[in-house]
Chains A and B, each alone.
Chain A
């Protein structure tokens, strides 16, 4: 099978979040970056497992600057066969999806994998847009993927239960928890990754339709307020006016 896995770079989960440029840009200063866990643990690993069982090739793709190469190398160390970096600063879900689609169109991929969302912007948009650009069906939030010959059996977690779909043909799939289990690369994989191709290509031209105007952090949580046990009126007032829960 010919498999494409979209991987992105996200801030490490404990990173301090701040903004620059009039609160319109995330401040990357001093932030540690990791591969988006949904891409790494589930999408990439399931693709590698499929390749290992039925043969074929796994290509990892990222839209980003050269500083993303370390994350891409990690994908190769975990077991992707080759990688592509589209040399552009990702702006919006739409441009990212368009760049990847323009590459994927040429590649004749059986399945295009990606994580259900990135853990930074949580947009969950690239997958559906990518499927649209490629004119392929989209299976989102998949927690299980099995192949029965050329037929794919996909399980999605839906509210209060599960949905199972079957499909024969190429498709785009976004990975949720359960699709696979994290694989930690070993030293041999890390050394082998150096010899695997990482091709850098320039983006196709696309115009952004939206711009980010402003980011805001949630208000800092205030501490617990202690009230006198006899002061019921004050408690009720605060529940009404401050906590706004009644």
Chain B
């Protein structure tokens, strides 16, 4: 599975990824053999395929596109979808663990996998016709097709129900108009699952294929975050799409929201991976680096930071483990997922910021992964529902009062 090809060679760094396992509460004992094997396999894969090249791709704001195939081969696309539809047939905890290990490498790479599995394969699997499933899922699972998910619009982010992208019917086709913004994978995608309002005002999911006339996906430049993940727009100017490309089995906002639940669940696990990598680096660095005649780790202020980091990481690990157990029983509510997504992202960003300081000047360089994780996490905190939006979801859940508007 050697995916490092000639054109990626100039991205290879000489540093080795020294990441070690951190499991303060022996949570491994709560995991099955499959989970442990999946974790080790993805960790090995990240050390081999991501760590050596990620700083360079990130710095140059290039997307390591060869990794789509690699992610498919390792089984990172839709691991909890059934095998016959291109998935891995695993449980929700395995899916979470895979996301965590990928994000330990880089949030952008994890995003590539989250979008493909949870936002493209999942809606086709859940809401698509049998024909659509047969046509797209195996190719998406194997990485032959790249997919993207178009919900956010330039003027409608936190409030997707206000979307203006819409279609009218024309015989066996629909005519689609509008624009989507901030779409992960879009410039390289073969298909887009686009959410748009129909003539009756109901939101429908539509599979738009690359090359359809009037459809373009320009790249968004200038991101200081998720730099190794490609982001773009989706622009529809009278795009004619056959009606058979509409996902038949869903109507309304619950379509995209159920996909988001699936992806947010993965992020709740994933962000902990970035936190673990920052903690791992800070622990090693402060044990080695000496000032005032002793290792930084020997000072109380450093220990306070390390102790708080591992405490917060451990709490988050337990939270997502419980969430995973509920998800396996089909009992994880969207509000519970919101709470964990918000908690993990915020925790990870705080850990990254502390770790940044603990590395001193070195902490701002690409010699260490911290600054990259920290910048990435600003997106992770924002997409799939911002930090504050998830708070409002919890608020509404516990009070029964909608404070969004």
Q: Which residues of A contact B (CB under 8 A)?
A: 12, 14, 32, 34, 69-70, 73-74, 77, 181-188, 190-191, 193-194
Alpha-carbon gap, A152 to B211, bound state (A): 53
Cβ contacts under 8 Å, A77 to chain B: 37, 41
Alpha-carbon gap, A77 to B2, bound state (A): 18
User: A70-B33, A73-B33 known; A187 and B20 CB under 8 Å?
Assistant: no
Main secondary structure of the interface of B (DSSP, over half): helix
Q: Which of A34, A184, A187 contacts B98 (CB 8 A)?
A: A187
Chain A nearest CB from B45 CB (Å) reads 5
Alpha-carbon gap, A118 to B34, bound state (A): 25
Q: Which of B45, B48, B74, B89 contacts A191 (CB 8 A)?
A: B89
Please state if B34 and A184 are interface contacts (CB–CB under 8 Å): no
Cβ contacts under 8 Å, A74 to chain B: 37, 40
User: A70-B36, A184-B41, A186-B74 known; A191 and B88 CB under 8 Å?
Assistant: yes
Cβ-closest 3 pairs across A and B: A187-B75, A187-B88, A186-B75
User: A184-B45, A184-B48, A184-B74 known; A190 and B37 CB under 8 Å?
Assistant: yes
Alpha-carbon gap, A187 to B33, bound state (A): 12
Cβ contacts under 8 Å, A190 to chain B: 34, 37-38, 41, 75, 90
Cβ contacts under 8 Å, A32 to chain B: 21
Chain B residue total in the interface (Cβ 8 A): 25
Chain A nearest CB from B87 CB (Å) reads 9
Chain A nearest CB from B48 CB (Å) reads 7
Please state if B33 and A188 are interface contacts (CB–CB under 8 Å): no
Please state if B20 and A191 are interface contacts (CB–CB under 8 Å): no
B1 within 8 Å of A by Cβ? yes
Q: Which residues of B contact A (CB under 8 A)?
A: 1-2, 20-21, 33-34, 36-38, 40-41, 44-45, 48, 73-76, 79, 83, 88-90, 94, 98
Alpha-carbon gap, A12 to B45, bound state (A): 17
Cβ contacts under 8 Å, B36 to chain A: 70
Cβ contacts under 8 Å, A186 to chain B: 1, 41, 73-75
A-B contact pairs, 21 of them (CB 8 A): A12-B21, A14-B20, A32-B21, A69-B33, A70-B33, A70-B36, A74-B37, A74-B40, A184-B1, A184-B45, A185-B37, A185-B41, A186-B73, A186-B75, A187-B74, A188-B83, A190-B41, A190-B75, A191-B34, A191-B83, A191-B90
Closest residue of chain B to A30 (Cβ to Cβ) is B26
Closest residue of chain B to A73 (Cβ to Cβ) is B33
Alpha-carbon gap, A190 to B98, bound state (A): 13
Chain A nearest CB from B1 CB (Å) reads 6
Q: Which of A12, A14, A194 contacts B34 (CB 8 A)?
A: A194
Chain B nearest CB from A191 CB (Å) reads 5
Alpha-carbon gap, A186 to B74, bound state (A): 4
Chain B nearest CB from A236 CB (Å) reads 29
Alpha-carbon gap, A186 to B76, bound state (A): 9
User: A14-B20, A32-B21 known; A187 and B44 CB under 8 Å?
Assistant: no
Beyond A74-B37, A191-B90: 14 further Cβ-contacts under 8 Å?
A: A34-B40, A73-B33, A77-B41, A184-B41, A184-B74, A185-B41, A186-B1, A186-B75, A187-B41, A187-B75, A187-B88, A190-B38, A190-B75, A191-B34
Cβ contacts under 8 Å, A184 to chain B: 1, 41, 44-45, 48, 74
Cβ contacts under 8 Å, A12 to chain B: 21
Cβ contacts under 8 Å, A185 to chain B: 37, 41
Q: Which of A14, A183, A188 contacts B1 (CB 8 A)?
A: A183
Cβ contacts under 8 Å, B41 to chain A: 77, 184-187, 190
